[in-house]
Amino acid sequence: MEPVEDHSEIEQFWEPDAGATTAEYAITTLAACGFAALLVVVLKSEPIKELITGVISSALGLGS
């Protein structure tokens, strides 16, 4: 088996995506931050706090 000297096909394959991963990471990061903010708002609400406390108490055997 001989090594391939011409890498032009590989280079042409990857060229159109130049810079795409940076944009994809930025969009994913923004989406994750938005989801985290929504989660904080939901978890700070009193009914959700009571629900989570009840579930944890039941799981630990502290519930009635």
Q: Which domain holds residue 29?
A: 22-64
Phi/psi of residue 6, nearest 5 degrees: -95, 115
Average pLDDT of the chain to the nearest whole number: 82
pLDDT digits (tens, 9 = 90+) for 27-42: 999 999 999 999 999 9
Instruction: Specify if 14 maps to a domain.
Output: no
Judged by phi (left if over 0) then psi (alpha if -120 to 50, else beta), residue 18 lies in beta
CB 43 within 8 A of CB 49: yes
The predicted model gives 18-24 an average pLDDT of 72
Q: Give CA 57 to chain center in angstroms.
A: 29
Instruction: Specify if 12 maps to a domain.
Output: no
Instruction: Specify if 13 maps to a domain.
Output: no
The count of domains in the chain is 1
pLDDT of residue 17: 58
3-state secondary structure of 37: helix
pLDDT of residue 5: 72
